Amino acid sequence: MSDKKSSKKIERYKLEAAFVSLADYDVTIKGDDFMEMSLWHNGEGFDVILNSNGEQRFCLTWGQYKALKTLVKELDG
């Protein structure tokens, strides 16, 4: 390994996140199921952790989220 310092810059920042228990939103929820959302540092989207029947993770840009809302609205009528 080289003793030379890397020329790559490491940037540190704090993420903005929100957390909610799913018990108040879904009658099928068991125990401590939750959802957590964190905004991307670059502002282009967000990550979601859904802890319900196992942990699920997904990421959406704001454009993808807008498309998803459009589909939900179409099907929910």
Rounded to whole angstroms, how far apart are CA atoms 20 and 62?
A: 20
pLDDT for 20 equals 96
Q: Per-residue confidence of the chain (77 residues) as pLDDT tens digits? A: 555 667 899 999 999 999 999 999 999 898 899 999 999 999 999 999 999 988 999 999 999 999 999 999 999 98
Task: Identify the sign of the CA torsion 29, 38, 57, 66.
Answer: positive
For the chain, the structural domain boundaries read 17-23+30-76
What length is written for the chain? 77
Phi and psi at residue 37, in whole multiples of 5°? Answer: -125, 135
Tell me the C-alpha to C-alpha distance, in Å, between residue 51 and each of 24, 34, 47, 58, 69.
Answer: 14, 5, 13, 12, 21
For the chain, the maximum distance between any two Cα atoms, rounded to a whole number of angstroms, is 63
* pLDDT recorded at residue 12: 93
